Amino acid sequence: MPLVELGAMDPQLVDPHTYPGRPWPLSTFTVHHTDLYLRRSYSLLQDRLQPDTVFFLGDLFDGGREWSTDDLKKNGEWAKYGETFWLEEYNRFGQIFFGRRNEIALTSGTEDRGKKVIASLPGNHDLGIGVGVKKVVRDRFYAYFGDGNRVDIVGNHTFVSVDTVSLSAMGQSDPLTASQGAGLGDGPPSSGEMIWKPVKEFLDRVKLMKKEAVARELRYLNGDDAFGTLDHDLLDLTDEANEREYSQTIPRNAEFPTILLTHVPLYRAGGTPCGPLREHWPPSKPPKGQATPLDHDDRNAIAVRGGYQYQNVLTPDISKELITKIGGVQQVFSGDDHDYCEVIHKSYTSSTTGKAPSGIREITVKSISWAMGVRKPGFLMMSLWNPVDEVGKPIEASLTSQDVSYSKAGTIQTHLCLLPDQLSIFIRYGMMGVFTVMTLAIRAIYSAVTGTGAFNETHRATYPLLPLTERLKVSRRKDA
């Protein structure tokens, strides 16, 4: 059966950075109820959907980039929030998302290999973006959540996570030297270079990392312990038999469909429509007589712009380098925008099988928090189906009718799942409270004016407030 994965975006835990001017107790109320909403929603989807893997696509915190580290002291408004506060926020995130996953892992009677929560991809609210990223802030995030650049094999698919908020510093002017490059390479790295260079080095070797990860997975699927103790044997690869055995053990050219995970969406031309599932700005109506959606719709699109510590889309050069360096990308999942957006990048080739290129499909996932500007938060459910033989080639034989339907639809299927509209629930509570108070007030005024209320003296004399009872006296005979 296909594996079920979840893409969760922008939990962006509410903190003092979210609503800096909101007074107490409204600020405390907001923090409590957003956490409660996230905890209940996440617990419910774990119980009902039982996903094999959960991916967070960045912006775990709202003000994570602003909290000081031991080596970097902030000034101004956020100076009082330091390393201890960030650790408290990390613990808060873990209580909401990690604790429930650990309970399921401990109580599950099935093999738990592959069941994981991957939250290492940073967002601009976690680190900043471009040259605004501070190395010590990124080091802290990596130390607790893991490296933001990684390769994972899940459901016979290769997931490549790239820290694009750091990569965005490439080409930007260094804040200290005003340079845009690494110079001649014979001097110490600039502050900007220290931000983007590790990501660039990861991209330079990611194709090899993909093949190594697929080889490990195939060894496991073939019954070998890919992570166990290796035999310390010397093989003479000039011997034809040994070379053939080594090649069969490690299929070096095997490839799985590649999925790119990035916090910042790929570049697209301004006005590229996001589709009918976008909540905040649905598609504009086409002119009369036109049956197809608009090709250019600024209202429905992600705005191509940036500002202080944010950038709505990556630059064209960085987007192209990502697709080229990773290779064979068939699907992209991104975040940052808080609302759903689905586009096809027709300028990129997604197929490595020789078929006609159809472009790369990118889905920007909704935020799962009701405090992020969308009335109906949500998450993306992915179904992965890619049966392979012992050397990693897709197999089509001996499939059930359900398996054939998955095969024809591709190896990846997605479904947008919506969560309750918490703001509407609060509005209904408020309206009911106002209605109740108004009803009681009208009743009180009417009773006082007409004299027919429950506190009228005549009414009170006729109908007592409390019932009157009389205990019957029972005579008792004495025993003779």
Asked if 158 and 151 count as a contact pair (C-beta separation under 8 A), the reply is yes
Provide the pLDDT for residue 185.
39
Provide the pLDDT for residue 467.
62
Provide the pLDDT for residue 464.
58
Asked if 94 and 156 count as a contact pair (C-beta separation under 8 A), the reply is no
Structure tokens at 379: 């998450």
Asked if 98 and 117 count as a contact pair (C-beta separation under 8 A), the reply is yes
Q: Which sign does the torsion angle of CA 190, 194, 200, 204 carry? A: positive
Q: Which of the 8 DSSP states describes residue 238?
A: T
Q: Give the residue from 93, 168, 92 showing the smallest Cα distance to 128.
A: 168
Percentages of the chain per state (helix, strand, coil), in multiples of 5: 35, 15, 50
The C-alpha atoms of residue 235 and residue 308 are separated, in whole angstroms, by: 57
How far is C-alpha 355 from the chain's CA centre?
Answer: 32
Provide the pLDDT for residue 24.
79
Phi-psi region of 183 (alpha: psi -120 to 50; beta: other; left: phi over 0): left
**Phi/psi of residue 288, nearest 5 degrees:** -60, 130
Structure tokens at 361: 């499909």
Q: Give the residue from 318, 307, 274, 321 showing the smallest Cα distance to 293.
A: 274
Asked if 326 and 301 count as a contact pair (C-beta separation under 8 A), the reply is no
Structure tokens at 289: 């007589």
The C-alpha atoms of residue 325 and residue 162 are separated, in whole angstroms, by: 11
The C-alpha atoms of residue 258 and residue 210 are separated, in whole angstroms, by: 9
Provide the pLDDT for residue 349.
67
CA distances, 4 to each of 119, 256, 385, 394 (Å): 17, 17, 9, 19
The C-alpha atoms of residue 250 and residue 212 are separated, in whole angstroms, by: 9
Residue type, 415: H
Structure confidence by residue, pLDDT tens digits, 349-388:
655 444 445 789 999 999 999 988 899 999 999 999 888 8
**Phi/psi of residue 204, nearest 5 degrees:** -65, -25
The C-alpha atoms of residue 60 and residue 144 are separated, in whole angstroms, by: 12
Q: For the chain, which residues score pLDDT lower than 70?
A: 1-3, 70-79, 100-114, 174-191, 225-252, 349-357, 396-409, 452-480
Residue type, 18: T
Provide the pLDDT for residue 138.
94
CA distances, 227 to each of 112, 204, 215, 224, 248 (Å): 15, 25, 12, 9, 18
Provide the pLDDT for residue 326.
95
Provide the pLDDT for residue 26.
81
The C-alpha atoms of residue 296 and residue 288 are separated, in whole angstroms, by: 16
Asked if 64 and 125 count as a contact pair (C-beta separation under 8 A), the reply is yes
Structure tokens at 120: 């290492």
HSE, side-chain direction, 13 A CA sphere, residue 404: 5
Provide the pLDDT for residue 376.
93
The C-alpha atoms of residue 185 and residue 169 are separated, in whole angstroms, by: 17
Q: Which of the 8 DSSP states describes residue 318?
A: H
